[in-house]
């Protein structure tokens, strides 16, 4: 299988909790997730509580040098992302980008990794290896 290529449009707006929460809270691109917590107990899981903020400048010394300084964070906010909201957001993401949210438009999914052969991929079962969003039956 060929090298996995993710379209530039997808790299700018990845389909994950961070992007979904940032958009729902109308936060700037610098906003990042600091923590998340599953809500509900298995099998009654109903969503995830996401808390994020804009981290302070990087730590300048010590063992954490270069890492964001979360003690100087700004714009801290939390939101509970329900399973239903996630499904709706992913459908909108696919509609907006035209790409499959599971393989990010590459048509490939991770299969395995080995030190001898590196990463192996398999065709994405969600989009039939096309990388394109699949039309839903009405």
User: For position 71, what pLDDT does the model report?
Assistant: 94
Q: Encode pLDDT of 2-13 as tens digits.
A: 555 666 767 778
Per-domain residue ranges of the chain: 8-98
Q: What is the DSSP letter of 69?
A: E
User: For position 138, what pLDDT does the model report?
Assistant: 43
Question: Environment class of residue 134 by beta-carbon count within 10 Å: exposed (0-12), middle (13-18) or buried (19+)?
Answer: exposed
| 26-35, 37-46, 50-59, 110-119: the lowest-pLDDT one | 37-46
Checking if the pLDDT of 1 tops 70, the result is no
Instruction: Give the pTM.
Output: 0.72
* C-alpha R_g of the chain: 18
């Amino acid at each position: 299988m060929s090298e996995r290529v993710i379209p530039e449009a997808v790299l700018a707006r990845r389909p994950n909790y961070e992007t979904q929460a940032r958009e729902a809270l109308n936060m700037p691109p610098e906003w990042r997730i600091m923590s998340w917590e599953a809500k509900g107990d298995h099998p009654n899981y109903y969503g995830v509580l996401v808390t994020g903020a804009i981290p302070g400048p990087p730590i300048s010394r010590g063992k954490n040098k270069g890492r964001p300084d979360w003690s100087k964070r700004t714009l801290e906010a939390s939101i509970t992302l329900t399973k239903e909201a996630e499904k709706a957001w992913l459908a909108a993401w696919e509609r907006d980008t035209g790409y499959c949210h599971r393989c990010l438009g590459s048509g490939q999914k991770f299969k395995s990794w080995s030190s001898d052969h590196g990463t192996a991929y398999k065709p994405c079962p969600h989009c039939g290896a096309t990388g394109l969003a699949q039309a839903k039956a009405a």
